[in-house]
């Protein structure tokens, strides 16, 4: 095979990929606690709309704050994996983008 000269451009074919639908987002609510070596992050729920994810995260945060004020006593009704250390728990909403073939 002949090597290209310095003024020739190499064109490589790209795979043809057709997607039936445009990119879609879902939103994941995560819980986080700790810092540095003891940092922990866990998934709480996946929703199809950003608004519902934000509302869920806000309610999770309110419940977590109440539990922490009671000294960590109580069960979190929306987050069965809930736990907290000395710096509390934070809930965040993260978008996930995916393509549907």
- pLDDT of 30-69, one tens digit each? 999 998 888 999 999 999 999 999 999 999 999 999 999 9
Q: Is pLDDT of 6 > 90?
A: no
pLDDT category of residue 8 using cuts at 50, 70 and 90: low
Alpha helices, DSSP H, located in 30-93: 50-69
Give, in order, the Cα–Cα distances in Å from 16 to each of 13, 19, 24, 91, 101.
9, 10, 20, 40, 12
Q: Which residues contact 56 (CB under 8 A, 6 or more apart)?
A: 29, 44, 45, 47, 78
50 and 28 Cβ atoms separated by less than 8 Å: no
Please indicate, yes or no, whether the overall pTM of this predicted structure exceeds 0.85.
no
Q: What is the mean pLDDT of residues 16-28?
A: 69
Average pLDDT in the chain: 83
């Amino acid at each position: 095979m002949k090597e290209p000269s310095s003024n020739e451009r190499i064109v490589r074919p790209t795979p043809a990929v057709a997607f039936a639908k445009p990119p879609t987002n879902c939103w994941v609510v995560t819980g986080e606690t700790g810092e540095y070596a003891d940092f922990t992050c866990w998934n709480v729920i996946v929703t199809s709309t950003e608004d519902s994810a934000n509302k869920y995260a806000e309610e999770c945060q309110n419940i977590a704050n109440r539990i922490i004020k009671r000294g960590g006593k109580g069960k979190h009704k929306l987050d069965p994996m809930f736990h907290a250390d000395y710096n509390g728990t934070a809930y965040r909403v993260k978008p996930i983008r995916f393509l549907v073939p």
